[in-house]
Each structure stands twice: as structure tokens, then as C-alpha cells.
Amino acid sequence: ALYSYDTKSKECALLLQDDYPPLKILKSLEGIVPISSNKLLITSFNGFCVVNTSKASPTFELFDVYNEKPLGGFKNCITDHKENVWMSSDYGVTRFDSKTSTITKFDYLNSNVGDTPTPMVSFSHKTNTIFLSQNLAINTIDTDDLKMAKPGKVILSDIKIKDYYISALPSSGETVL
């Protein structure tokens, strides 16, 4: 199920899977991120969907198959400065272009990404760079021209740092905090 809250009327609506077939196909919802003021993207283990909230009743566009192949599961998701959504999967990261509905996968077959299932994904608004957690490393993707850096072996602490941005990938042995 999914809840919708109207901040003006202070009403809360329950959207049941039985009433919305895409939610039933997605089953377990994993992540949610805004794409624009009236669109959300929801991830699950069975693909993802785009929810248009501009009308009285939301509409859902399901993405569980692409080029006649199952998309698989997605977990962590973020939006970049171009309204693309980046989602972690079992094999790396996938970019969804919300303007063209184009899906691009980055995994161990076509990039340096994919060493770690469902990596954590973060976006730097300062450098327009995606940061991905990889097996004891950080991988970066420059979103302006899709250049991917080779993973740098960086051992990080167990402490999760929220809302902290670094301007560039640190050098070996460099302390960032």
C-alpha cells in the first residue's frame, strides 16, 4: 500500500495494491524519490513505476520489462540535476531518463560498476557526480558526460554520514573529515 497526504486539506488517502495494478505487480516497495513537483518514482524488487500526482487520482506507469527483458530489483534511488533517477540494482546502477523514459544500465559488463549488489547511491550537486559504494571502494560517475572513474580503494568507517558532500574523490590516505 501507498499513502498520499494532501498538505492543504490535511487529508490522508490509502492507495491499496488491489485498486492499482502496478502496485500489485511491484509488491514490496523499496524506495521513493521525487522526479518533479508532480511525479514520483517508486522502486521495488520487481522493477519500478512513475507516479503522476497532478490529478485527483494518481496514475502509475509501470517499468518491469525493458527491451523485452525483466528489469529485476531496485533499491536505493536518487535524482540528479537533469531529473534523471539513478537506482541501485543487484548488478550495479541504472539510470532512468524521466523525460524520454529511457533506461540505461551500468554494470560489470559495460563499466567499472557492479562489484557490490545494491550499492548506496549519492549525488553531489556541487560537482554533478554520482558516488557509488563498491566493495571497499567508491566509484564515481560524472553525470554531465557519463565518464566513469575506476573504483578507488577507500576504506570508510561504519558511520553513515548524512548530507555531507565532498568536492572530489579523496586521494589515498587523505582524510576528508
In the chain, the amino acid numbered 44 is: S
Task: Identify which of 78, 80, 47 has the alpha carbon closest to the alpha carbon of residue 146.
Answer: 80
Residue 109 has pLDDT above 70, yes or no: no
For residue 148, name the pLDDT band (cuts at 50, 70, 90).
low
What pLDDT, on the 0 to 100 scale, is given for residue 149?
Answer: 61
- Residue carrying C-alpha cell 496514475: 59
Q: Give the list of residues 6+ apart from residue 146 with CB closer than 8 angstroms, or none.
A: none
And the C-alpha cell for 29? 516497495
Residue 115: pLDDT band with limits 50, 70, 90:
low
> Phi, psi (5° rounding) for residue 144?
-75, -35
Q: Taking 90 as the threshold, does the pLDDT of residue 147 lie above it?
A: no
The pLDDT tens digits for 79-102 are 999 989 999 888 788 899 999 999
Q: Any idea what the Cα angle at residue 143 is, between residues 140 and 145, rounded to 5°?
A: 105
pLDDT at 49 over 90: yes
**H or E stretch including 23?**
helix 21-26
Using DSSP, state whether 118 is helix, strand or coil: coil
pLDDT tens per residue, range 57-83: 889 999 988 778 778 888 889 999 998
pLDDT tens sequence across 8-29: 888 888 888 888 888 888 888 8
pLDDT at 167: 62
42, 48 contact by CB (below 8 A): yes
Answer yes or no: is pLDDT of 159 > 60: no
Q: Check: CB of residue 121 under 8 Å from CB of residue 77.
A: yes
- Cite the beta strand spans of 65-174 per DSSP E: 65-66, 69-70, 74-79, 84-89, 92-97, 102-107, 121-124, 129-134, 137-142, 147-148, 152-153
Lowest mean pLDDT among 21-35, 108-122, 127-141: 108-122
Q: What is the pTM of this model?
A: 0.75
Q: 54-83: b or e for each residue (b if 16 or more CB lie within 10 Å)?
A: eeeebebebbeebeeeebebbbbbbbbeee
**Buried (b) or exposed (e) across 13-32, using 16+ Cβ within 10 A?**
eeeeeeebebbeebeebbbe
